[in-house]
Chains A and B, each alone.
Chain A
Amino acid sequence: MAKAEQLRSLTGFTSRTEEADIWIPRLVALLSLFLVAAPLITVTVAALRPGMTLPFQAGEWTLRNFAEVFGDPFTYRLLLNTFLYTLASLCFALPVALTFAWLVERTDLPYRDSIYTLLLIPMAIPGLLKALGWVMLLGPRQGILNLFLRDGLGLDAVEGPLNIYTFAGMVFLTVLSVVPSMFLLLGPMIRTINPAFEEASETAGAGVFHTLRRITVPLISPGILAVLLYYTIVMIEYFEIPLAIGLNARFPVLSLQIYTLTRGEQLPHYGLASTYSFLGLALGIFLLYQYRKLTTGSQKYEVITGKGYTQKQFSLGRAKYLALGLIGFYLLLAVILPVSVLLWTSFLDYYLLPSQAALSHLSFTNYIEIFRSPRITTAATNTLILFLAVATFTTLLALMVSWVVHRYRPSFGLLLDNMVFLPLAVPSIVVALGVLLFYIRTPLWGTIWIIALGHAIRYLPFSTRIISAAILQIHQELEEASWVSGASKLATLTKVTFPLLLPALGNAWLWVAIHSMRDFSFPLMLISYTNVVITSLLWSLWEEANLTALSALATLLILVSMAFTVGSRRIASHRTF
């Protein structure tokens, strides 16, 4: 800090700059506090209200919800199940995401740029739709793959041999869903490892895998642990797959219980749901504390320094075919198979198994009906607004927060960093309720902007993590060198730091944009006549059990999201250093 002060005096920063140094962190902190306050206050107040009472409704205050939740042995079963589900999902997802990140970022794998883009495509498929596709593929009785397997293996059974409605099925689908986001978090971490250590290892005669095991992995292990902690919190709240599979798998988890209490068939019980959310929040705070411990002394992870920086690429040799096969297999499971089933269903008048007879039922009717729908134009426009506005605002805010925390390092930096992380530990539906109650008297009410605001709060933790990680890896000596050379703070930021951060910013933007486009919780909770989005229409079709129209709209949403993903990546890859 003193060194920075010295440099500032050397480069003759004006008092205006110093003033900005004071008010910028405060402004960013205030804005962030204002945004995250809504869900946190709501969850706290709601937990203290009885029965069906809404959080800010007049009436009594009570601890009954806590007594009910903690006095119920089922809560502990839910916690155990959630722990097992999280553990199993992360045990499989992490090695897969880590392998993909390493292959794409640090090896001579062919078509890496295209593969990078392809690996982000599964993000474009909402978990519910992925589950729907896989139920059609691996439903124990009529799943297409099961029928194929029974036929191929000559099995005389009416069910199986595989069953998606199991704990394994739930974990399998979750792994397919979380790998792309994990890959996004791990990618920059692996990309920016200081090559000096690996080169030294290789010079000493170590092979690729030995270097990987002994040098690369230990170097990024704090980052990996941080990602694990982050995803542990995410998994506590993740409800789409448990909703589609969990009940049949006889494996209820915490998120399913919260969903049932807030969006089940009966009137919502926000008090109990918020009390369950408190468990997630408490766990989140504990994990956050652990995360802070891991990332204290951020210089440990600064790998892009001013001392020369050339990435080391490992040669895969013949193993590249195995690597390509592995990635191809993942894409087959995460994208090709479920999307193919949805595509097939989208051309039918009612669901039929693929067969020659079914071909006569194929038509474009569902697509024509979608375009004839009176709400489609509004929904598409609103979805586009969400896609662009939420991603841009959230990424900018996350950049400001991360920058303030890691570069300005104000006295309240730790608090700010923790604060923006907290909405992650509160279920989407509770955050949405908080936004609804908080902004009800504002002009935002009923517009698409209230959903956009909700999404910004929801996705701020992820984008902050991804940008913070990138900032942590850029040694301040690069900026100091720029200052010493006479560059202004702004010039340093735009010409030195920003280009280095661009990949992380691009990733954060894309992640937020896709997730905002595919989210169900906020559009449903904050729905009005004017702010309908594509996912609201999808949900209506889901509730009507209109599988064919649902598949058609889902296919369109997925294709558009894919096109945006590919397009954004192409733009980003042309602009990165």
Chain B
Amino acid sequence: MLRYIGAFLILGTILGITSRDLRAAESGSQQVIKAALKAEEINSRYEGDINYWTTEPSSKELVKLEEAFNKRFKLKVKLKHTPIRSAEVANRFVVTTQAGRPAEGDITIISPPALSALSKNGLLEEFDWVGVLGKEFPEIQRRVNTIPAEYRNKALEMYHLVYIIAYRTDRLKKEELPKTWEEFTDPKWAGRFAVANAGYPFNYFLSVPGWNEQRVLNLTRAIRDNRAVFVKGSPGVAAALQSGEASLGITSVGNVEEMKAKGMPMDWTALPGLVLAQKSLTIPKGAPHANLARLFGGWLTTEGRELFENITRDGLAWSEENSLLAKKLKELGLRSGDLTLIDTPEKDELAEKMLKTIQRLYLGR
């Protein structure tokens, strides 16, 4: 009898553990999908929408992400793309919420100032990413932990905007390139290099060891006086290199890699004091399809990352990451410790303040 009781107890324990595990398995994607079904974000045929409010990738490329996501979770979800820049997303969500409307977007990928603006307006809400999706996407733990404490669990690390030196390989050899930022002020580069008119990346330099306000201002003033070709944003730098108006320029990696992929004679290198601006994925409070967006966000920042990186050529810079960007930085001899991450609200505030000063300086003040 005792044997039977013992066997029964053992069986019961096994079943209990298994069912707990089953419940745990369900607590991942299935749990979120069930919540989405309940919230009528998807119908019984698993059809639904996710409003994707960000510029990257383009609508054409986004279809690839949509296909991969649907295949992975056996869904028929449509990613409805509204290409809108980070700063504008924040404003738009704030405006609509103030007007009593729900946020229009379900998911967005934004830079630190926009994240801070959403946070200040109470538009970020916590979600237990690790608890719900941690087993299914183990990498998500890291995507949560690399977010500054102020925004922990309210956003996920998506990719890094890295400012590098891009150059035309048909005009310059790698050895000829400036080795320090100050070398851009050398008359031999006069009128030959392009920089973003907004003031990036120099506004971040206050957070880089060894830099102070005076040094940044001296550098930016000298760069202006050395007839830098001012263009609209990092993509503008890539365009100036394309058209040949500049032989080198300071821009972000994605644009250059995209040109390279098209066959342009272009490459990039990095200088000491490399700064990274963190781009974070977030789901605004009141998003109409929050559950689906969470599943998509969790997937995109982990399993879907590689595809995202292949499409956009934007990745994570940390040495331990398996990204093209990390590999290239390692090749250039740069390790995580050499990189300055702009992640905290303090660093961000400093950068925003400096941005205004540099813009004024560029405008001739």
Contacts and interface: CB of A to CB of B under 8 A. Distances in A.
B355 A265 contact: yes
Contact of B363 (A135, A247, A373, A532): A247
Interface in B243-280: 243-246, 255, 258-259, 262-264
Nearest to A349: B262
B263 A266 contact: no
B212 interface: no
A454 B27 CA distance: 47
Interface in A363-408: 369, 372-375
A57 B98 contact: yes
Contact of A250 (B55, B80, B360, B364): B364
Contacts of A441: 99-101
Contacts of B84: 527
Contact of A353 (B60, B104, B229, B244): B244
Interface string A113-140: 0000000000000000000000110011
Interface string A508-545: 00000000000000001101110010001000101111
Interface stretch (B89-97, B125-133, B300-308, B321-329): B89-97
Interface in A27-67: 52, 54, 56-57
A264 interface: yes
A248 interface: yes
Interface stretch (B31-39, B142-150, B232-240, B332-340): B232-240
Given A350-B264, A528-B82, A536-B83, A266 B363 contact: no
A540 B83 contact: yes
Interface in A51-92: 52, 54, 56-57, 74, 77
B85 interface: yes
Contact of A373 (B60, B239, B245): B60
A451 to B, nearest CB: 14
Contacts of B82: 527-529, 532
B45 interface: no
A155 B59 CA distance: 46
B220 interface: no
B202 interface: no
Given A74-B360, A140-B191, A266-B355, A135 B94 contact: no
Nearest to A78: B363
Nearest to A539: B83
B87 A369 contact: no
Given A74-B360, A528-B82, A57 B94 contact: yes
A350 B355 contact: no
Interface in B313-365: 352, 355-356, 359-360, 362-365
Query: How big is the B interface, by class?
Result: 35 or more
B244 A350 contact: no
B230 A545 contact: no
A551 B227 CA distance: 27
A92 to B, nearest CB: 24
B58 interface: yes
Contact of A437 (B80, B81, B88, B95): B95
Given A56-B98, A441-B99, A265 B60 contact: no
Nearest to A545: B235
A159 B60 contact: no
Contacts of A545: 235-239, 242, 255
Query: How big is the A interface, by class?
Result: 35 or more
A140 B352 CA distance: 32
Interface in A530-568: 532, 536, 540, 542-545, 547
Nearest to B352: A266
Contact of A350 (B94, B262, B364): B262
Contacts of A142: 243-245
B63 interface: yes
A440 interface: yes
A436 interface: yes
A540 B62 CA distance: 14
Contacts of A139: 243-245
Interface in A230-266: 243, 247-248, 250, 252, 256-257, 260, 263-266
B196 interface: yes
Contact of A529 (B81, B87, B90): B81
Contacts of B355: 265-266
A252 B239 contact: no
A56 to B, nearest CB: 7
B107 interface: no
Given A373-B59, A529-B80, A544 B235 contact: yes
B291 interface: no
Given A247-B197, A349-B263, A545-B236, A267 B114 contact: yes
Contacts of B262: 349-350
B228 to A, nearest CB: 9
A52 B121 CA distance: 12
A257 B363 contact: yes
Contacts of A250: 364
A195 interface: no
A56 B97 CA distance: 12
A26 interface: no
Interface string A137-154: 001111100000000000
Contacts of B352: 266-267
B69 interface: no
Given A141-B191, A265-B196, A441-B100, A543 B363 contact: no
A77 B85 CA distance: 31
A434 to B, nearest CB: 12
Given A142-B245, A375-B81, A159 B191 contact: yes
B263 A54 contact: no
A248 B231 CA distance: 8
B206 interface: no
Given A440-B95, A441-B99, A545-B239, A135 B87 contact: no
A54 B51 contact: no
A446 interface: yes
B200 A440 contact: no
B277 to A, nearest CB: 11
A567 B147 CA distance: 57
For B101, B198, B352, B359, the residue with the greatest tally of chain A CB atoms inside 10 Å of its CB is B359
B113 interface: yes
A39 to B, nearest CB: 16
Contacts of A375: 59, 81
A185 to B, nearest CB: 31
Contacts of B95: 54, 436-437, 440
A348 B132 CA distance: 48
B182 to A, nearest CB: 22
A415 B291 CA distance: 53
Given A142-B243, A266-B352, A267-B117, A543 B85 contact: yes
B36 to A, nearest CB: 19
A252 B224 CA distance: 14
A161 interface: no
14 contacts: A140-B191, A141-B191, A247-B362, A266-B356, A267-B91, A350-B263, A373-B59, A374-B60, A374-B63, A440-B96, A440-B101, A528-B82, A544-B55, A545-B235
Interface of A: 52, 54, 56-57, 74, 77, 135-136, 139-143, 159, 165, 243, 247-248, 250, 252, 256-257, 260, 263-268, 349-351, 353, 369, 372-375, 436-437, 440-441, 445-446, 524-525, 527-529, 532, 536, 540, 542-545, 547
Going nearest first, the 5 A-B pairs with the smallest beta carbon separation are A142-B244, A545-B235, A265-B198, A545-B239, A440-B99
Interface of B: 51, 55, 58-60, 63, 80-85, 87-88, 90-91, 94-96, 98-101, 104, 113-114, 117, 191-192, 196-200, 229-230, 232-233, 235-239, 242-246, 255, 258-259, 262-264, 352, 355-356, 359-360, 362-365
Given A263-B88, A265-B196, A350-B262, 13 more contacts: A54-B98, A74-B365, A142-B245, A264-B359, A267-B114, A351-B242, A374-B59, A436-B95, A440-B101, A445-B101, A528-B104, A544-B235, A545-B235
